[in-house]
Amino acid sequence: MIRSGSFIFLDGIKKDETWGSCKSGEEDEVSVKKTIAVMSILFLVITGSRLSGFTVVAKQPEEVNEGRETLTDDKPDDVDNTMILDDSEEESTDKECVVEEEKELFETVETIVPIYNYEIDNVIVPTTYAMSLNPYEMPIVVDKDHVSTEQVVTRNYGIINKSSTDKVVTITFTVEDLNGDKITFVDSEEEAKSADPDDYAVYLSVIPADGGEIRIGDTDANVDTHSSALSDVEMTEAKEQAVALHAGENCISFRLSKAIYEFEDMVPVSGEKPEGRAKEVLNLMGLNPDGKSVTAFTFGGAMNPKAEWEKLLKGIKITASYEYRTADGSEKMMNGTGAMMSSD
């Protein structure tokens, strides 16, 4: 074994103080291989080879290699038994040491590389609805500036996407007749108005906005829009794309463009959850310039004017629920609308 600053000789071999030849401590026969093993150790130390952490072992050969003669006591006294490694042996020993050293120093290192990202989900929807059925077309006050004689009287409702990604917003309208299913929900205005007098026929529909501007009163939709402001917006109807509602669940979807965000200058993002910190240093700059971060819809329809509606004691219950997901780019839009998706 060789360590830094010291070495150990093999059994029975001594070295002269003058770094001369090796002699046997006894007059026993010494093979060439034993001498070579001792000189191999000396060679590594003298040439400055540094070995650490492993052992160099020299074994007594069972047989003498071909081409080598065994030294005996019959040889002349003037024969020098000192053997010097030839080039092939020196190269072989050095290669063996290099392989051992590589095995000792080799390690596997793993590291987890985080991806700093963020996603802000912020879809704003109306939380209140107002609708009345007006089969006899009486004048009904909608607000201080608006009186309606429509058979379905309602307001317009907006949806805004202030998320950092494009979103698909799906609204599920659950329609229930509180009169014990006496009302028949039909597919068109003509079908409702031409129904028999004893048929409580109603055509109830959702009408999306067209591609024009959505106006939300005096509220700045780019910065501060509360859900309450979305319960009465101004829009232009795309009546030709109206979707009929029936008893049970009815779904419609809109694809809304992402809003624009920027990071505050020179504010570091760090911590175990960088995405959480990222949200704190982001500033909303505004809705998407394409104008498709906001859309709207309203209700419409018709009723059978010949039916005796006064005999019905209750109305219709409509429940709206919202869900949204990140758009994947495969969405198909309905022609003539600002954001409504095709059901195909």
Please write the tens of the pLDDT for every residue from 135-177.
Answer: 999 999 988 788 999 999 999 999 999 999 999 999 999 999 9
Distance, in Å, from the CA atom of 326 to the CA atom of 123, rounded to the nearest integer, reads: 11
Where are the alpha helices (H) located in 59-124, listed in sequence order? 87-105
Q: Counting beta carbons within 10 angstroms of the beta carbon of residue 234, is it exposed (0 to 12), middle (13 to 18) or buried (19 or more)?
A: middle
Query: What is the model's pLDDT at position 257?
Result: 96
Average pLDDT of the residues in 56-80: 46
Query: What is the model's pLDDT at position 8?
Result: 39
For 255-291, what is each residue's pLDDT tens digit?
999 999 887 765 665 555 555 556 667 888 889 999 8
Identity of the residue numbered 239 = K
Query: What is the model's pLDDT at position 221?
Result: 75
Contact 322, 174 (CB under 8 A): no
Asked if residue 89 has pLDDT above 90, the reply is no
Average pLDDT of the residues in 217-228: 77
Distance, in Å, from the CA atom of 171 to the CA atom of 235, rounded to the nearest integer, reads: 18
Asked if residue 248 has pLDDT above 90, the reply is yes
Torsion sign across C-alpha atoms 205, 207, 208, 211: positive
For 316-327, what is each residue's pLDDT tens digit?
999 999 999 999
